[in-house]
Amino acid sequence: MLGKRILLIIGGGIAAYKTLDLIRRLTERGAAVTPVLTKAGAEFVTPLSVSALAGAKVHTDLFDLTDEAEMGHIQLSRVADLIVVAPATADLMAKMASGRADDLASTLLLATDTRVLLAPAMNVRMWNHPATQRNLVTLHSDGALVVGPNEGAMACGEFGPGRMAEPLEIVAAIEAAIGSGPLADRHVLVTSGPTHEPIDPVRYIANRSSGAQGTALAAALAALGARVTFVTGPATVLPPDGVKVVRVETAREMLAAVQAALPADAAVFAAAVADWRVANAAGSKMKKDGTGRPPALEFTENPDILATIAQMTAGRPRLVVGFAAETDDVIDHATAKRARKGCDWIVANDVRPETGIMGGAENAVTVISADGAESWPRMSKDQVARKLAARIAEALA
């Protein structure tokens, strides 16, 4: 963190008091914190305590002409290595998602091309409200990183998700975002989860992938400092903190999102992509026709995302990693798959039902590379993710 410049926007919520501790934690790690206090934020913490802890001037008003002469708001937002919004209130998130710029904080956020980390904090109903969740999806796809919120008792007396992440959790997310680990300055793409292939507007074909392994891997890569783009189908586990989340439904959408996210230093394809989609998917709901005859679905092959990227002639990521789910002859099948798809490594796992791996918390993998097959002992999906992330860091070093 030494010498890193953090622009810290303090929103108007009771959690603003925790931001004072955050400033202290950041400055003692050598970061330079430039604080911006919203009008509502100043109702919860005073400019004096913020500036005393940061050892810097607090910026509060967009129309301070002296400030504009000293350092304009555009400049202020661009000199930072990272912009942190803590607490990110429902209102600030809504302003950001809709691109409003009616005070200093929202103007800075609109004027910048620096990455933004949000630490949301609000009442549980506000957090769960469809409007906030919609804004969150928009902010994710705009590239904002998010840490928290945590679940627990809240100042308003309710219980649930909405508590701001603790200062040290925010520090860890900042460290991952500004990349002090071995993958600092590396962009890694991860696909995860199942895909949903529509039959008609209300029905789809899917698979049982939970997205757990891809999510753990994205978190482990971010923890090593990588900038992670996480392209996920409709998974049951939540996406990790501190990564750019791109949500997709179908294999074709996943391929388009992956291509749009390039260039990348490495790409890891952990998604369980449907190999087939319904060619004659209906535009309106299919009805029983009274004859008792089921509709005939025709299938067509989906694009192979892993093979498409692995076989790129220009702009191919330096390291392309695929996964293989096998039930027998794991090593032979995975070795053949590596050659067929043209990827560098295949992480093969044995998904026979008796292993309990598909949908479970553990994994036993064999990593196939040009050097041969290496079987790892059975361990948690988190441990597999950390070990694989460390290997990726070595390969990109």
**Are 352 and 333 a contacting pair, CB within 8 Å?**
no
Our finding on whether 306 is near ligand CTP (CB under 6 A) is yes
Nearest approach, Cβ of residue 305 and ligand CTP (Å): 3
How many residues make contact with ligand CTP (CB under 6 A)? 14
Our finding on whether 251 is near ligand CTP (CB under 6 A) is yes
The span from the CA of 278 to the CA of 282, in Å, is 9
Our finding on whether 199 is near ligand CTP (CB under 6 A) is no
Q: Which of 62, 325, 390, 395 binds ligand CTP (CB under 6 A)?
A: 325
Our finding on whether 324 is near ligand CTP (CB under 6 A) is yes
Nearest approach, Cβ of residue 328 and ligand CTP (Å): 11
Our finding on whether 357 is near ligand CTP (CB under 6 A) is no
Our finding on whether 269 is near ligand CTP (CB under 6 A) is yes
Our finding on whether 322 is near ligand CTP (CB under 6 A) is yes
Q: In this complex, which beta carbon is closest to ligand CTP, that of residue 158 or of residue 275? A: 275
Our finding on whether 323 is near ligand CTP (CB under 6 A) is yes
User: Which residue stretch of 86-94, 278-286, 316-324, 363-371 sits at the interface with ligand CTP (rule: CB under 6 A)?
Assistant: 316-324
Contacts of 66 by beta carbon, 8 Å cutoff, 6+ apart: none
Q: Which two tokens stand for residue 32?
A: 């330079």
Residue 319's DSSP bridge partners are 266
User: Which residue stretch of 74-82, 107-115, 267-275, 279-287 sits at the interface with ligand CTP (rule: CB under 6 A)?
Assistant: 267-275
Q: Which two tokens stand for residue 309?
A: 């990227």
Nearest approach, Cβ of residue 27 and ligand CTP (Å): 43
- Run of H or E including 295: none
Q: In this complex, which beta carbon is closest to ligand CTP, that of residue 116 or of residue 271? A: 271
Of the candidates 217, 223, 220, 241, the residue with the CA atom closest to the CA atom of residue 184: 223
Nearest approach, Cβ of residue 242 and ligand CTP (Å): 22
118: alpha, beta or left, given left = phi > 0 and alpha = psi -120 to 50?
beta
Our finding on whether 368 is near ligand CTP (CB under 6 A) is no
Nearest approach, Cβ of residue 351 and ligand CTP (Å): 8
The span from the CA of 234 to the CA of 273, in Å, is 11
Of the candidates 314, 181, 195, the residue with the CA atom closest to the CA atom of residue 257: 195
The span from the CA of 67 to the CA of 59, in Å, is 8
Active-site residue identified among 131, 137, 156, 168: 156
- Terminal Cα distance for the chain, rounded: 21
Q: Which amino acid is at 383?
A: Q
Our finding on whether 273 is near ligand CTP (CB under 6 A) is yes
Q: Which amino acid is at 269?
A: F
**Are 225 and 276 a contacting pair, CB within 8 Å?**
no
User: Which residue stretch of 5-13, 23-31, 62-70, 297-305 sits at the interface with ligand CTP (rule: CB under 6 A)?
Assistant: 297-305
* Burial class of residue 7 (count of CB atoms within 10 Å of its CB; 0-12, 13-18, 19+): buried
Q: In this complex, which beta carbon is closest to ligand CTP, that of residue 325 or of residue 379? A: 325
The dihedral built from the CA positions of residue 72, 178, 100 and 44, taken in this order, carries a sign that is negative
Active site residue 156: yes
Nearest approach, Cβ of residue 355 and ligand CTP (Å): 14
The span from the CA of 21 to the CA of 323, in Å, is 42
User: Which residue stretch of 145-153, 233-241, 266-274, 366-374 sits at the interface with ligand CTP (rule: CB under 6 A)?
Assistant: 266-274
Residues near ligand CTP, by CB under 6 A:
191, 251, 269, 271, 273, 275, 302, 304-306, 322-325
Residues labelled catalytic: 156
